[in-house]
Structure 1
Amino acid sequence: MFKKSILLTVAALGLGGFVSLTQSATTQAASMPGSLTYHKTSSVAKIGSQYKSFKLTNHIPTSNFKNIKTISWKKSGLKKGTKVRIDLYATQGTQFNWYRISKYSTKKAKTNKKVQKYWIYGQALVLPTTTSNQLALSY
């Protein structure tokens, strides 16, 4: 056991530093220095069961925006199973993306009414699955 820890330490030092293996996905994403890439989309998702582990913000925490505010889940009116509309998402080179969400409504919003939008990490959402019909060809 002692030899393994020494080898791991030497290997980590050889790679330029120590690597923490105990960080959560949210912590890793929040501290990731990669640049954000934004993409437009139009889809519907649901708030997942682990949503309270993640924060709702007015901007992505890793963005260059100076006044990032956290909004409480209670104030937003969002809870597990609530349908939300996704209009924008951002990638940063991690397994999960950031999504800009708003409450889903089937009614057409008036042009003068402002819809509240929030940014949330992808693990807090249940995203729609895509399926494709493929033909199995045999020769």
Structure 2
Amino acid sequence: MQNRNLLLLATAAITLAGFTTISTPTTANAATMTGTLTYHKVKLIAKIGSHYQQFKLTNHVVNSNYQHIQTTSWKKSGLKKGTKVVVDMYANQGLQSNWYRISKYAAKKKSQTKPKVQKYWVYGQALVLPKSFTF
């Protein structure tokens, strides 16, 4: 009888825990969900904002399915407040804020070879976007 009561108690605890987890989704859980990112192509010039150092430069969007996401320092990238950057893609995940793929802006020059451009993903609040840009 005691084993049966323990089994019922354990089953009730598992059911209750499962119900609680399912019925109370949080924003933090939504931010860590993978596979729900949507990517969009765009072409615009933005600037690095004044609070840029609070955010990381990565090789892939942090909430993506990529296994090995690497971070690069702002100093190593050569980007700082007010630097013009080219935004060629952005990604969003539902109602979460956007991530932007940026590269250092270079005025067009006539050259025969294209230099390799390093691209980084950064959280949208690190940038100052043009006012005419809409999603």
Same topology, TM > 0.5 = yes
The residue matched to 2:43 in structure 1 has which SS? Answer: strand
- Structure 2 residue ranges without an equivalent (≥5): 1-19
CA contact (8 A) 1:34 1:92 kept: no
User: Superposition RMSD on alpha carbons, in Å?
Assistant: 2.6
* Match in the other structure for 1:122: 124
After TM superposition, list the pairs within 5 Å mapping 1:53-68 onto structure 2: 53-68=54-69
Relative to structure 1, is the Cα distance of residues 40 and 80 closer, same or farther in structure 2, using a 3 angstrom cutoff?
Answer: same
Q: Could you report, residue by residue, the CA deviation over 1:61-113 in whole angstroms, capped at 9, with x for unpaired residues?
A: 11111111000000000011111000111111135211000001113475442
The number of aligned residues is: 113
TM-score (norm. length: structure 2): 0.72
Please give the alpha-carbon distance, in whole angstroms, between the structure 1 residues aligned to 2:24 and 2:103: 41
* Match in the other structure for 2:24: 17
Relative to structure 1, is the Cα distance of residues 111 and 129 closer, same or farther in structure 2, using a 3 angstrom cutoff?
Answer: same
Which protein is richer in helix relative to its size?
A: 2
- Structure 1 residue ranges without an equivalent (≥5): 1-12, 132-139
After TM superposition, the runs of 4+ consecutive aligned structure 1 residues lying more than 4 A away are none
The residue matched to 1:87 in structure 2 has which SS? Answer: strand
* Match in the other structure for 2:6: none
